[in-house]
Amino acid sequence: MKVQERAGSPNHRGSGSAQGVGERLPSSGRERKPALAALAVLLILIGALGATVLVLRAGDRIEVVRISADIPAGKSVTNGNMTPVMVADDPAVHYVRWEQRESLKQLQAKNTLVKGTIAIGEMFSEGKGLPDGKAYVGLSLKEGQYPTGLKVGDHVSAYRVTADSAAAKPGSTGSPGAGEANTLLVKDAKVNDVVVSSDETIGSGNLPVTVMVSANEIAPLTQAAAAGQVALVLIPSAAN
């Protein structure tokens, strides 16, 4: 009995020892990749830097001149027709900065500037901005001698009318009347200025109007205007 017990004893210990070793085997841990972690941090920093640059560029704004009322060609900017506005700075655009407004008043608009336009240096010159062979003629028109809603930039025809012929009706776009006394003075004149006081509307009272005409049309137009015999007719937009 003792011999058998001794003989079986090593087997018993060996089995227990094998089981103990198996229980103590280390489990495989998660593999660490420090290079990927560093790359992720670098990408985050680059993204943050790019966002910062965009914010700084968006905040790089300047104060420039904005046209607050229509300015006819050949006219100058005044305190009453300009306001400051902030825009994003762009070296490729020659903005007229607000601190340059006094110098801007010494120049004239090359072409008609509409309300809301941002002033650019190329829009102005020291001259009157008149095309070659053109001139401005001032008219003082009574009600019925101009179409309702006449505004800067419109194209009109100018007729000589007498007391015996029918004057142009407000809003008319055709001939100012059927009569032998009616004479076409200017086929196509561009309205450069319409002076309307703050308490007066187009269609009532005398209306000062400046038109741009060819040099050879100045004499007949001014003669008819002096006699109060000029009527303007709006040219349809399709004909402009």
Whole-number pLDDT of residue 121: 92
- Write out pLDDT tens, residues 136-188: 888 999 988 999 889 888 999 999 998 655 444 444 444 444 444 578 999 99
The more confidently predicted of residues 190 and 195 is: 190
| Residue reference for tokens 């010494």 | 106
Q: Which of 150, 178, 147 is nearest to 165 (CA)?
A: 178
Question: The whole model's pTM is what?
Answer: 0.46
CA atoms of 158 and 182, how far apart (whole Å): 10
